[in-house]
Amino acid sequence: MQRIARLKESPSQTAGPYVHIGMLPNFAGIDGVFDEDLGARMIVGEAKGERITIRGRVFDGVGAALKDVLLEVWQADAQGLFPSQEGADPAFTGWGRQAADMDTGEFAFETVKPGPVPFRDGRLMAPHVSLWIVARGINLGLQTRIYFADEDEANASDPILSRIEHRDRIPTLLAEPKGDGTYRFDIRLQGENETIFFDF
C-alpha cells in the first residue's frame, strides 16, 4: 500500500528550569544581548479598551507555586480583532510573555480586556485570553483559556465552555475581578480543582 508522505511534528521536550535564558534573557540577568525581552509589553501606545492586569500563580499537585514557570498569552484587542486582521488596534500586540517571580511564583500580564471573537459557525465566543504554560517538568506546553467571571451572559453562551461536560470544572477557567482593574487567575496543574487544559 502507498504511504501518505506527511512528516511527523517534532516531539515536544520540556522547556527546563533555565527557559528564561533564551526567552527572557534580561529577566535572567543576561544583559546586553537583546535590547528588550520579547513580549514584556503588550500595550505599545494608546491602546483602545479597558486596561486590565491579570495576576496569578501556577500550583503543582502538592499545592506549591511554580517559581520557574513561563507563560505566554495570545488574545484579541478590545474590538475582538487579532493583530493580523484588518482594523486591529496598532497600539496592542495581542501577545505577551511573562515569567513567574522567582521568589513568589506570581505572574502578571498588563493588557486590555479582549472583545468577543467568532467561533467557527459565527456564534460569538465570550471574551477570553489564550494561555500557554511551559516549565521544568511539563513535557508538552499546556494550553488553557482565561475567561472573565464578570461576563456571565457571554460565558453562558460560549461555544467552548458549552462543550465542557463536567460543569463544576468551568470556574477553573474564570478570572476573578478584584475591582481595581486586576483579575486573579490561578492555575492548578494537578489534583483538586485542576484547571481545564485544551487540545486543539
Partner 1 sequence: MNAFKQKQAVLQTPGGHDRPGGGLYARDRSWHPAALTPAYKTSVTRSPTRAPISFPTTLGEETGPVFTRDRLGPLDADLVHNFARSPDGAIGPRIVVQGRVLDEDGRGVPHTLVEVWQANAGGRYRHKKEGYLAPLDPDFGGCGRCLTDEAGRYEFRTIQPGPYPWPNGPNDWRPAHIHFSVFGQSWGQRLITQMYFDGDPMIWRCPIVGTIPSPEGIESLVARLDMEATIPMDARVYRFDIVLRGRRQTLFENRMEGL
Please count the residues of this chain forming the interface with partner 1, following the rule CB under 8 A.
Answer: 89
**Interacting positions 5-64 with partner 1 (CB under 8 A):** 5-23, 25, 28-30, 32-35, 38-39, 44, 60-62, 64
82, 110, 182, 186: which one contacts partner 1 (CB under 8 A)? 82
Please state the three-class secondary structure of 130-186 as a single string.
Answer: EEEEECCCCCCCEEEEEEECCCHHHHHCCHHHHCCCCHHHHHHHEEEECCCCEEECC
**Interacting positions 83-102 with partner 1 (CB under 8 A):** 83-85, 93-95, 102
CA distances from 191 to 58, 62, 143, 185 (A): 13, 8, 17, 17
Q: How far is the CB of 66 from partner 1 (least distance, A)?
A: 7
3-state secondary structure of 33: coil
Q: How far is the CB of 97 from partner 1 (least distance, A)?
A: 9
116, 146, 183, 185: which one contacts partner 1 (CB under 8 A)? 116
3-state secondary structure of 29: coil
The residue among 55 and 136 lying less far from partner 1, judged by its C-beta, is: 136
Q: Going by DSSP bridges, is the β-strand pair 70-74/95-99 parallel, antiparallel, or unpaired?
A: antiparallel
Hey, what amino acid is at 63?
G
Asked if 112 and 50 count as a contact pair (C-beta separation under 8 A), the reply is yes
The residue among 60 and 186 lying less far from partner 1, judged by its C-beta, is: 60
**Interacting positions 128-187 with partner 1 (CB under 8 A):** 128, 130, 132, 134-143, 153-154, 160, 163-164, 169
Q: How far is the CB of 65 from partner 1 (least distance, A)?
A: 12
